[in-house]
Amino acid sequence: MRKYLYLICTVLLTGCLNNDFLERYPLGDPTAETAFKTYDNFKAYAWGLYETLPSLGYGSENSTDDISYNQTRGSSESNWIRKLVTIPDKKDNTVWSYYSYIRRVNLMLDRIEGSDMTDTEKKHWRSVGYFFRSYRYFSLLSAYGGVPWIDHVLSDDETELIEGPRASRDEIAEHILNDLKDAERDINVDGEGANTINKACVQALLSRFCLFEGTWRKYHGLGNAETYLRECKRVSAELIEKYPNIADCYDDLFCSLELKDVPGVILYREYSNAVGVVHAVSIGGTTATSFYNPTRDLVDSYLCSDGKPRWTSVLFKGDEDLYDEFS
């Protein structure tokens, strides 16, 4: 009896040396090891990344000098207009919080290579990740210039974000440029179908980023401005060729029930009464009881039809008459 008992124990102990036998993840509780395997896994995860895109509303603009919020005259106006804005002394409620979002993107990017997808599928989802990560790093670059560059999920003992070096503006801008160019090359041209991140979306972000960075470098004497401005010219020309027209009526961009069929719209936030995804912009901004009014700074930000600002365009009719000015 002892002989057989010893034999059974030996077999069990030998079997326990197999790590694969012990590593079993709960089927009903997805983890990073089980949630990133198939194409549909990455597709489902990527839907959550869209939430960082802006929604229709005046929330962000209400804190700038573009809008005068006049619900209660003298007390609800923008603090910018009333000259009451103070520079924050901490990172709370600033774009620094986008690092938590960047971590979410990196979580997906880190798992692509070990998935069961084909090379083409891996390139597509890597491109989608590059788009969203670049989108938020663009915000950080605009606010701070050089910032820590984090391109992977930090472990518990990694402290690059808090104690790591601050990458130069040159390095951050180059990372964004290279990631977006890779995404432009590898992403599915049509994305995942209508109203998803596709090649045109990547090109639009690339155009905007390169115009910003190129002009910033040019007028601040940072050098290498031509690299970004030439790239902006190239990608903008391709995008304009695909979308030669914009909405026939400018007002349609703001007062349409949906932007699905409006010419020139590349990506939009879809609203639906059926599922309760709605907004109240038409009440606050486009009715006779509107609380929001444009400021001089906003009006002066618009270009004339020749592409020049009001100060240098021969088309500007002057500001002595309200109708001439808005014409």
- What's the CATH code of the domain at 129? 1.25.40.390
| Position 249 in a domain | yes
Q: Is residue 305 domain-resident?
A: no
Q: Does any domain span residue 61?
A: no
Asked whether residue 88 is assigned to any structural domain, the reply reads: yes
Nearest to 226 by CA among 215, 239, 237, 240: 215
Q: One-letter amino acid identity for 90?
A: K
Alpha carbons 286 and 108: distance in angstroms, whole number? 40
The answer to whether position 55 is within a domain reads no
R_g over Cα of the chain: 26
Buried b / exposed e along 12-23 (16+ C-beta atoms within 10 A): eeeeeeeeeeee
What pLDDT, on the 0 to 100 scale, is given for residue 9?
Answer: 47
What does the pLDDT read at residue 294? 76
Q: What is the pLDDT of residue 16?
A: 52
- For the stretch 265-284, pLDDT in tens is 999 988 878 887 776 665 55
The pLDDT assigned to 178 comes to: 98
Report yes or no on 185 lying in a domain.
yes
Four-point Cα dihedral 173, 176, 179, 184, nearest 10 = -110
Nearest to 299, CA basis, from 312, 288, 309: 309
**Residue 321 resides in a domain:** no
- 161, part of any domain: yes
Least Cα distance to 81 among 89, 73, 93 occurs for 73
Spans of the chain below 50 pLDDT = 5-15, 17-18, 28, 74
| CB-based contact 58:284 (threshold 8 Å) | yes
Q: Based on the structure, what is the number of domains in the chain?
A: 1
- Per-residue pLDDT, 8: 45
Domain containing residue 186: 32-49+81-255
The owner of tokens 């951050």 is 172
